[in-house]
Amino acid sequence: MDFANFLIQLLNSVQYGLLLFMLAAGLTLIFGIMGVVNLAHGSFYMIGAYLAWYFTSLLGSLTLAIVLGTLLAVAFGWLLEWLLFRHFYHRDHLDQVLLTFGLIYIFEEMRSIFWGDDVHAVQVPELLNWSIPLTDTLSYPVYRLVMSAVCIVLAIGLYLLISKTRLGMKIRAGAFNRDMTESLGVNIRLIHGVVFALGVGLAAIAGVIASPIASVYPGMGSSVLIMCFVVVVIGGIGSVRGALVAALLVGLVDTFGKVLVPQIAGMAVYMLMALVLLYKPEGLFKQ
């Protein structure tokens, strides 16, 4: 592998890692703060991607689709939290597993009813549809770089929100001791709604911005969900910092695994996970 090729793979793996981080951060936040196991998290990614495709083909603009798609997905998440999830905070994890598995069925079928079972492609917007030359023969698409930049901005935003703002302080306090925080006058109900919508929003944005480079297809949620689990387990459940490190690690192993040892590419990340668990049974950054 020459240097330019290596660089491309490196950029690809970082970009994939950042995308995974957006998904895993939402999953781990929802679990860490509300104690809810959400198997339907992958469905929000799928919904984001389908909304992006739908609005792009309707309005002809990905930028508009991103805004509308994200807003709709967040609103949907908020509604779902209010209708269903808030009744399950104190229930057994198993009940949550069952509930969210039922939801996967429902979302998949709704997707099929509304948007059909075809595979769709989303056009990269004109403005970003060009490449940066690396060598005479190799170049790298700008859209992927912009995508990574968006993920980085959102990750920093998330970090600032949780560690620096008043809302973030309340979120952390609520995760640490719910009853105490509530008796200090914090509206935990509202905080939970915000965190859930935030998690759903992150997953949906990931789906929206990934839509032009990964095609939009039925069942796209479940494969991504499983990857999210791996990231969350490696990073340590509930830890956003762990999710970032683990997502980048998984991105690297997956991308270079496919290039260097295609025979075991599908297994590579799971092997990484087993290795990590052997030394750190509770993940790299235990909360």
Partner 1 sequence: MSTAKAQLEKLPRSIQFVLALGAIALAAFPLLPIAGSDFYLGMLSQMMILAIFAMSLDLLQGVSGLVSLGHAAFFGLAGYALAFMTPADAPIALWWSLPAAALAAGLAALIIGFFVVRTHGIYFIMVTMAFAQMVFFLFFDNKALGGSDGIYVNFRPDATALGIDLESKTVFYYFTLVVLIGLYFALRRLLFSPFGRVLAGIRVNEHRMRAVGYGTFGYKLTAFTLAGALAGVAGYLWAAQTGFVNPELMGFHMSAHAIMMVILGGMGNFAGAIVGAFAFEYVMHLFKDMTKHWQLLMGGFIVLVVIVAPRGLLGLIDRYSKRGGKA
Cβ 216 to partner 1 shortest distance, Å? 19
**Which position among 2, 90, 94, 118 is part of the footprint of partner 1 (CB under 8 A)?**
94
In the chain, how long is the greatest CA-to-CA distance?
65
Cβ 254 to partner 1 shortest distance, Å? 12
* Residue 279 interacting with partner 1 (CB under 8 A): no
Of the candidate spans 64-72, 91-99, 153-161, 168-176, the one that interacts with partner 1 by CB under 8 A turns out to be: 91-99
* Residue 98 interacting with partner 1 (CB under 8 A): yes
Cβ 142 to partner 1 shortest distance, Å? 32
Question: Which of positions 186-225 make contact with partner 1 (CB under 8 A)?
Answer: 222
Question: Which of positions 121-180 make contact with partner 1 (CB under 8 A)?
Answer: none
* Residue 233 interacting with partner 1 (CB under 8 A): yes
**Which position among 62, 198, 232, 240 is part of the footprint of partner 1 (CB under 8 A)?**
232
Of the candidate spans 45-53, 137-145, 153-161, 227-235, the one that interacts with partner 1 by CB under 8 A turns out to be: 227-235
Chain positions contacting partner 1, by CB under 8 A: 31, 37, 39, 84, 87, 91-95, 97-99, 101-110, 112-113, 222, 226, 229-230, 232-233, 237, 263-267, 270-271, 273-274, 277-278, 281-283
